[in-house]
Amino acid sequence: MIYDFVIVGGGSTGAVLAARLSENSGTSVLLLEAGPTEPDPEADRLGAVDFSHTGRDWGFQARTAGDATAPYPQGRTLGGGSAVNGGVALRGMPSDYDAWASPNWSWEAMAPCFRRLEDDPLGGDLHGIGGPIPIRRAAKEDLVAPQQQLLAAAQDSGLAWVDDHNDGVSEGIGPSPQNVVDGVRVSTAMGYLRPADGRPNLHIVGRSFAHHIVIERDRATGVAYSSDGADLEQARGRHIVVCAGAFNSPALLMRSGIGPVRDVEAVGIRSVADLPGVGANLMEHVGAFVFVVPPEGAVTTDMVQHQLLIRYSSPESPVTNDMQIGMMNHWDLTENPVLAEVCGAELIWGICAGIQIPRSRGRLRVLSPDPEHPPVIDLNLLDSPEDVAQLTAGLRLCHQLATHEALAERFERVTVLDSAVFADGDDSALAEYAQQFSFPWYHASGTCRMGPDPNAGDVVDDRGQVHGVDRLSVFDASILPMIPRANTNLTCIALGERAAEMLK
């Protein structure tokens, strides 16, 4: 049959689109998901530091900085990133969305989408109640001891208490909003697709790997895919929607002949649309830890990991909340011998700073038309000197908090770095440390950038339509012109809500 919509990728955005579009019984929707679609209750429980490293992963490697590479977890399962992430349900700042491609994506347009997806007990004019995704926050009286100590250190350092980090204006320290209930991360598979299960007009096919988009006379007409390694099949659709994420969406476009013409033809793919921005403009939040070795017996691993979040503005920054800080209450390194050797301990804790408006840009390329050949991912973290300086200053604040008397019972020594580095005014050693120990926050964005000018690197227009190819849209983190000042999952879910409005 020919479906009204064929959606590639059932992640944070694709699952939302499939559920919302199929609410109209007269609209037929096929959702192709490369990973499994059956529930996995154990994998849905939110872990500790290794929350993203589950069996439901693409197994990507990414170059982080210099020649260093590291695993880059990406969800390969129904729910995508929302099924493997840390469960933080944070909105960006309203001006983030106002700075996107057009009024179609302004805060005025996006705010109802956030409210519609939420089940937030705060309610009122700002928040939704009864939506598919629960938003929960730890009450002050429920904070575990380390988080209470962090709060005391932060307030003594001049950071104000924040009741609601999603109110669009506050900065300071307050409870991290999370889509976690009783330790279970509520993904879009749970919140959107399970209630839609049984609709005769919604077909979900798991373990179906999209090879390329079928394009006839500059119009997308289908998706070539294989299921569990079987022969190639075609799913035909009146509208093809790619929601495969910031890595797989540009890779799929390139394998379909959509991308920089020289790069595409160099690997034996016939060019269909010369769009130099496909795979470019890769943005990522980047952070680094101050690691602390505790006294013997002072830290245990049997408590909740993360309850409080700090959003603050860098000194002399023209924008608010361009930095985040959070504390890991415990970190068991017994299964990470390399870091354990570097730290000189098997049990540590740490405070991490992260840049929310990175200036550095990376890119992604494909080296083969074979979809089994993973893309080459170059994050290019901290390429900008301004990013290095900003993260260095963030590490100084992390050290100030970690060494505060409120956390004294948990503090024996800073590891890897000597505390003397923080005492002097020379940032060179700290900047070197930041570059060596920086890591991505798994919020890749921007590789199919939205905007009006394909010659300037824009890939889709302000309605998600791929420039130069009719009936082909992209909706996921890859189209973001600027990364929001927040963990990207909630934004991607709201993006799905907004895209459904447009496509309907």
pLDDT digits (tens, 9 = 90+) for 424-478: 778 999 999 999 999 999 999 999 999 999 999 999 999 999 999 999 999 999 9
Scan for tokens 């669009």, then name that residue. 168
Phi, then psi, of 498 in degrees rounded to 5: -70, -40
Q: Select from 410, 440, 470 the last residue of a domain.
A: 440
| pLDDT score at 228 | 83
pLDDT value for 298: 95
Are 118 and 499 in contact by the 8 Å Cβ rule? The answer is no
- In this predicted structure, the answer to whether residue 404 has a pLDDT above a threshold of 50 is yes
For the cut 60, the answer to whether the pLDDT of residue 50 exceeds it is: no
Is 259 among the domain residues?
Answer: yes
> pLDDT tens-digit profile of 358-372?
999 999 999 999 999
Mean pLDDT of 123-137: 97
Query: What CATH number has the domain bearing residue 262?
Result: 3.50.50.60
What does the pLDDT look like over 166-214, one tens digit per residue?
Answer: 999 999 999 999 999 998 999 999 999 999 999 999 999 999 999 999 9
Domain with residue 375: its CATH number is: 3.30.410.40
| H helical segments located in 404-488 | 420-423, 428-437
Residue with tokens 């245990």: 300
What DSSP assignment string belongs to 46-96? --STTTT-SSSB--EEEE-STT-EEEE--B-STTGGGGTS--B-----HHH
- Above 70 in pLDDT, residue 53? no
Please tell me whether residues 159 and 266 are part of one structural domain: no
Please indicate, yes or no, whether residues 361 and 259 belong to a single structural domain of this protein. Answer: no
- pLDDT of residue 47 exceeding 70: no
In a domain, 123, yes or no: no
Q: Is 0.95 surpassed by the pTM of this model? A: yes
pLDDT band at 315 (very low <50, low <70, confident <90, very high): confident
pLDDT, mean over the chain: 95
Q: Do 372 and 429 lie in a common domain?
A: yes
**Which range among 64-78, 223-237, 417-431 shows the weakest confidence by mean pLDDT?**
417-431
- Residue 139 has a CB neighbour count (10 Å cut-off) of 9
Q: Domain for residue 60, yes or no?
A: no
Same domain assignment for residues 167 and 299: yes
Instruction: Work out the pLDDT band at 48, boundaries 50, 70, 90.
Output: very low
Q: 294 with 357, same domain?
A: yes
Whether residues 330 and 418 fall in one domain? yes
Query: Looking at the domain assignment, is residue 190 inside a domain?
Result: yes
Same-domain status, 328 and 430: yes
**Residue where a domain terminates, one of 398, 425, 440:** 440
**Residue 104 domain-assigned (yes or no):** no
At residue 81 the predicted structure's pLDDT band, cuts being 50, 70 and 90, is: very high
Q: Does the pLDDT of residue 49 top 60, yes or no? A: no
pLDDT tens digits, one per residue of 10-29? 999 999 999 999 999 999 99
Please report whether residue 344 resides in a domain. yes
Q: Is residue 458 packed enough to be buried (19+ CB in 10 Å), middle (13-18) or exposed (0-12)?
A: buried
Task: Tell me which of 414, 440, 466 is where a domain ends.
Answer: 440
- When pLDDT is cut at 50, 70 and 90, the band that residue 316 belongs to is confident
CB half-sphere exposure, 296, CA atoms < 13 A: 0
Identify the band that residue 226 occupies on the pLDDT scale cut at 50, 70 and 90.
Answer: very high
Distance between CA atoms of residues 221 and 359, nearest Å: 38
Query: Is residue 105, in this structure, part of any structural domain at all?
Result: no
Both 344 and 411 in one domain: the answer is: yes
Alpha-carbon Rg for the chain in angstroms: 22
Judge if 247 and 303 occupy the same domain: no
9 and 474 Cβ atoms separated by less than 8 Å: no
How many structural domains comprise the chain?
A: 2
User: Which residues lie below 8 Å from residue 55, measured CB to CB, with a gap of 6+?
Assistant: 43
Q: For residues 33 and 236, give the distance between their C-alpha atoms in angstroms, rounded to a whole number.
A: 16
Residues 227 and 312 in one domain: no
Task: Please check whether residues 451 and 352 belong to one and the same domain.
Answer: no
The boundaries of the domain holding residue 253 are 2-42+77-83+185-282+445-503
Q: Let me know whether 360 and 430 are in one domain.
A: yes
Residues acting as catalytic residues:
443
- Whether 94 maps to a domain, the answer reads no
How would you classify residue 468: left for phi > 0, otherwise alpha for psi between -120 and 50, otherwise beta? left
